[in-house]
Amino acid sequence: GIQVEQSPPDLILQEGANSTLRCNFSDSVNNLQWFHQNPWGQLINLFYIPSGTKQNGRLSATTVATERYSLLYISSSQTTDSGVYFCAVPTGGADGLTFGKGTHLIIQP
């Protein structure tokens, strides 16, 4: 099945710093989602981005489908950005998602 790899696995930054999270996937996809999982386990939708670039406030994402990777940018980090960031792609062309192992982000005040 499709493989999803995320890097880095862990990231510790000071408040105000910028960060780039990467997601590589092993096969062509028609959908890619980025999620933020808060400390209580809730997965929050950040972006639905099969290709191109999208921005939402301090967050933006870019997917280069032909090269099979996506990037999530977080600017001017805040402590509330802490948590685990996952990317996910469809499994085998249907709707079930395959997730990466996530990037655990810690923003220190």
| CA 28-34-38 angle, 5° bins | 150
d(CA 88, CA 14): 27
What is the DSSP code (8-state) at residue 79? Answer: G
Q: Residue with structure tokens 């890619």?
A: 32
Question: What minimum distance in Å lies between the beta carbon of 108 and other proteins?
Answer: 21
Q: Residue with structure tokens 């996530």?
A: 102
Which of 39, 57, 96, 109 is close enough to bind other proteins by CB under 8 A?
Answer: 96
Whichever of 63 and 98 has its CB closer to other proteins, that residue is 98
**CB of 66 within 8 A of CB of 57?**
no
Question: What minimum distance in Å lies between the beta carbon of 38 and other proteins?
Answer: 10
When asked if residue 95 is in the footprint of other proteins (CB under 8 A), the reply is yes
Site map (CB under 8 A) of other proteins, residues 33-62, x = contact: x-x----xxxx-x--x-x------------
Whichever of 16 and 92 has its CB closer to other proteins, that residue is 92
